[in-house]
Amino acid sequence: MQKWEYLRLDITHTGEEVRIITNLDLARTLRVSKSELINSLDNLGDQNWEMVSVFRTGENEIHYFKRPIESA
């Protein structure tokens, strides 16, 4: 049976800057430009992350991704 790894990105848009918090590194907040956000999302696809859903409320977005865990 396939097992999955999950990633959650909490994204807040503040003007030209975007704040990102992930479930993988809760102690760190990234502040990036909107173009850097797009590049980061593209890089997630290159790492086999698949977007599952997006929830948006005002300036806040929660993005959920999954990727298969490869058994050793």
Q: Report the 10 Å Cβ neighbour count for 70.
A: 9
pLDDT tens, N- to C-terminus, the chain (72 residues)? 889 999 888 888 877 778 877 777 655 677 888 888 888 888 888 989 999 999 998 888 999 999 999 865
- Domain count along the chain: 1
Structure tokens at 31: 């502040």
* Six-digit token string for 32: 């990036």
Place of tokens 């698949």: 50
Residue range(s) defining the domain that contains residue 34: 4-68
Beta strands in the chain (DSSP E): 4-14, 17-22, 29-33, 50-57, 60-68
SS3 state of residue 26: coil
Q: Tell me the C-alpha distance between 23 and 6, whole Å.
A: 9
Single pTM value for the model: 0.78
